[in-house]
Every structure is written in C-alpha cells, then in structure tokens.
Amino acid sequence: MHTRTMKKVIPLALAALMSTTALTAASAAEADFKAKSAGDIVIRARGIYVTPSESSSLSAPGGDVNVGNDTVPEVDFSYFLTDNVALELIAATTRHTVNGSGSLSGTSLGKVSLLPPTLTVQYHFMPKERFSPYVGAGLNYTFFYNVDSGAVPSVHYDNHIGYALQAGADYAISGPWSLNIDVKKIFLRTNVNVAGGAVTGKVDLDPWIVGLGIGYRF
C-alpha cells in the first residue's frame, strides 16, 4: 500500500476506533444503572431530621409551647404510574419533648410520639438520567400516641389531617441502587387539652423534614 494511501487510511481508522470506543462507553454508562420507568417499585431507607415550626393559640393568656426536634429512621415506598409520575407513601415515627413558653415558661408538658403516614403524588424530571429531581404534594394524617404528660396531670392531642409539599432528587449509583435527598413541609395542626381543660387551644406544628437515604428499584 502506498505511503500516501496509508496516511489517509490511518487517521480514518483511528477516528472510527475512537467513535466506536466512545459509543461503547456511552452505552455502558447508560446500562450500568436502572432508569425510572412506569411500573417500577422503589423502596428507600432514609435518616430524617424533623424540626417543627410551631405556633399556638391557647386559652392561657400569653401561653405558648415549644416542641423539640428529632432524628429517626424512615422507610418509604414509591410506585411509578408513568415514567414521570409516582405515588410515594412515607412511614416513620418520631418522639418530641414539649415545654411551655411565654406565660407557661418552665412548665414541662412531657413528651409525645407522632406517627405521620404521608402519601404524595410526585413528578420526576429527567427520569432516564442518572440525576433525577422531583417535586410532590399530598396528604398527611398524624396519630399522636404514647403521651407523657410531664409536670401536668394530663395532656391530650387530637389526631389530625394535614397537607404536605415535597422536593428531592435521586442519583443513580449502579444497577437498581440510588442515593436520595428529600425535603418535606407538612402543614399540621392539632387540638390540645391540658389538665382536663385547664388549658386548651390549637397548636400548629408545621414541621420541616429533611432526609438522606438510599433506594432500591424493582
């Protein structure tokens, strides 16, 4: 083969080899994680930090309450109705200290556990990409239980329904595994009865819930 011909063929061969290598690498990158698709079920385990943004309207003049934060594990389940739209059910339980403030300052109102199952409808952006953010909205129903009344004879909280907003993102690691970050705002109000009606009123808890975790997609 003539030298001049070789000079033409070699660059073309190298270009073809580089193109093939690039396509192979791209295909491998696409194949090494499972994209979001209709019919998928995702189970996630998160650690969540719950911080109430409380305010109250109580029968005790100048009285208010302070509700403590909590960090707990959480499990959630998602089902993809389409590639972009999913339903998510969140289950976790938290425990919070409650103290009086304002005119009730120094009064311990004990502790209370909350079980707040929350169902959201989510829209997932870029479901076929490794990084896929989402937003969601839904309903929450909170059960108050295991009440420790602290320094007062009794404290009662009414179970209540609330609304939830959500934003987060998944980052595919490998195969069906992904990392997740999630932030929720729950708008939650409860009626409170202290010491058999000595103090009554409404308390808006409105917690922020920040979670980090890992998911597995079936």
pLDDT tens digits along 111-131: 999 999 999 999 999 999 999
The whole-number pLDDT of residue 105 equals 87
Q: Report CA 61 to chain centroid distance, whole Å.
A: 37
| Exposed / middle / buried, residue 97 (Cβ in 10 Å: 0-12, 13-18, 19+) | middle
pLDDT tens digits along 50-71: 999 988 888 888 888 899 999 9
Q: Where are the domains of the chain?
A: 1-31, 35-217
pLDDT tens digits along 24-52: 444 444 458 889 999 999 999 999 999 99
The whole-number pLDDT of residue 79 equals 98
Residue of 170, 171, 168, 182 whose CA lies nearest to 212: 182
The whole-number pLDDT of residue 56 equals 86
Name the 3-class secondary structure at 209: strand
The whole-number pLDDT of residue 31 equals 54
State how far the Cα of 157 lies from the Cα of 179, in Å rounded to an integer. Answer: 36
Domain 35-217 of CATH type 2.40.160.20: yes
Residue 24 CB partners (closer than 8 Å, separation 6+): none
pLDDT tens digits along 196-212: 888 899 999 999 999 99
Tokens of 20: 């093939």
Mean pLDDT of 153-170: 95
pLDDT at position 10 over 80: no
pLDDT at position 12 over 70: no
What is the total residue count of the chain?
A: 218
> At residue 26, what is the residue type?
A
